[in-house]
Structure 1
Amino acid sequence: MQPYERIAADDPRLGPSDDRAVALAHLGEAVLDAPTPVAHRSEVVRFVEHHPDIALRTNPDAHLTGSALVVDAQGERTLLMLHRKLGRWFQPGGHADGDTNLPAVALKEAREETGIDDLAVVVPAIDVDVHQVSPPAEAPHLHLDVRYLVFAPPGSVEHANAESLALRWVTEDDLDLLDPAVDDSTRRLVVRGLAIARELVAPA
């Protein structure tokens, strides 16, 4: 199995950075297992290399985001949010807002959007996705999303913030019961993330 490592929020390796080389390093380390995320990584790398402001929302065409597939301590379920603006079920995540340390971005967004403390992010990233978003009152643009597995501690209780209409713990089988249905990229992330999580929590 690929070596993965859980990192707590207070780890100095999660300190903020504005260096695009840091984002490129995280992209290069990502462990991807399908043609789509591999192609998306190449696209994101090109954006990062050619746009100094790629981690900022001031770039009107595209910007970096970090996502977190939050799973329970047993690796059996993931916590999805019904996004208020977009009206779809997604994993927690959000804009880098200048921080190129992408696992730190993913962990920060997970904590803010689930209300769960003591989360731990797993490195390296497990998925990369490029998708267009069209939020209300904003021009359509691309999110260059680098996605991480994040473990919640035992007994976690979630608390939604203003960005979501609901939070729900789901298994892979539960995905077909969600309304509206999850998109293909979210399904891909959930299937891969839960498989890795189960391996990480399995007895040695």
Structure 2
Amino acid sequence: MHRQPLIDALLAYREAHPDEKDTVDRFHAFVRGQSDCFERSLAIGHITGSAWVVDRSGGNVLLTHHAKLDRWLQLGGHADGVADPLAVAFTEAREESGLDDFEAVSRDIFDLDIHPIPARRDEPEHLHYDVRYVLRATGPTDYTVSDESHDLAWIPLEKVPNYTTDPSMLRMLRKWQERQ
């Protein structure tokens, strides 16, 4: 079953983060219940893959000022049928930053988030079931702003709260700082 690797990763994440049990259980039920969970065409919601991209030192994170949502966020996007959210995170990090060289700090899920995406044109409001990983930029860090962003910036960790008050972003910041 193409969903089984993600299901296994969700169960491992629940073990490591018992305080996030409710989110993991919702996520798990969605993946088990929707065979097409990786497809953007699933109108109720779909899996996305995101990257908390850090520089070599781990002291800065690359954030995008997302064009459609008009907020500072981590890099990421739709799975579009790819059943490996880590592969999606790598693809989206490359596409949205223009950087080529990344390594996964871990293959384990770093964070999970379920958030609504507002209705837009012919697309109804729906949920993104976002699977997040930490990627470290290992090559040159001069980025290119894509058409999906208003801007990109390497943000020192201590300044991230100046860019966002989003609880999931601050949760990832806390998790990353606890690893340092």
Give yes or no for contact 2:64–2:150 (8 Å, CA) kept in 1: yes
Match of 1:125 in 2: 109
Say which of 57, 75, 81 aligns to 1:92. 75
Deviates more, 1:148-157 or 1:110-119: 148-157
- Matched letter for residue 175 of structure 2: R
Match of 1:105 in 2: 88
- Is the aligned partner of 1:170 residue 2:167? no
Distance in 1 (alpha carbons) for counterparts of 2:88 and 2:141: 21
Distance in 1 (alpha carbons) for counterparts of 2:68 and 2:172: 21
Q: Deviations over 1:129-172 (max 9, x none)?
A: 11101153221100001110000015421111110000011123
Say which of 137, 148, 154 aligns to 2:133. 148
* Aligned CA-pair RMSD: 1.7
- Matched letter for residue 151 of structure 1: R
Deviates more, 1:97-106 or 1:63-72: 97-106
Q: Deviations over 1:12-63 (max 9, x none)?
A: xxxxxx811122122223375462x432111111011111111101111010
Say which of 26, 29, 46 aligns to 1:63. 46
Distance in 2 (alpha carbons) for counterparts of 1:30 and 1:87: 30
Distance in 2 (alpha carbons) for counterparts of 1:106 and 1:158: 16
1:176 Cα deviation (Å)? 3.0
1:175 Cα deviation (Å)? 2.0
- Matched letter for residue 51 of structure 2: A
1:111 Cα deviation (Å)? 1.1
Give yes or no for contact 1:90–1:182 (8 Å, CA) kept in 2: no
Q: Does the residue aligned with 1:123 lie in a helix, a strand or coil?
A: coil
Tell me the TM-score normalised to structure 2 length.
0.90
Q: Which runs of 5+ in 2 are unaligned?
A: none
Give yes or no for contact 1:172–1:191 (8 Å, CA) kept in 2: no
Give yes or no for contact 1:106–1:147 (8 Å, CA) kept in 2: yes
- Is the aligned partner of 1:134 residue 2:118? yes
Distance in 2 (alpha carbons) for counterparts of 1:34 and 1:174: 28
Match of 1:185 in 2: 168
Identity %: 33
Match of 1:5 in 2: none
Distance in 2 (alpha carbons) for counterparts of 1:85 and 1:135: 11
Give yes or no for contact 1:81–1:89 (8 Å, CA) kept in 2: yes
Query: Structure 1 residues 34 and 115 mapped into 2: Cα distance closer, same or farther (>3 Å)?
Result: farther
**Structure 1 runs (4+) greater than 6 angstroms displaced:** none
- Matched letter for residue 183 of structure 1: D
1:73 Cα deviation (Å)? 0.3
Q: Does the residue aligned with 2:115 lie in a helix, a strand or coil?
A: strand
- Is the aligned partner of 1:76 residue 2:59? yes
1:194 Cα deviation (Å)? 4.1
Match of 1:52 in 2: 35
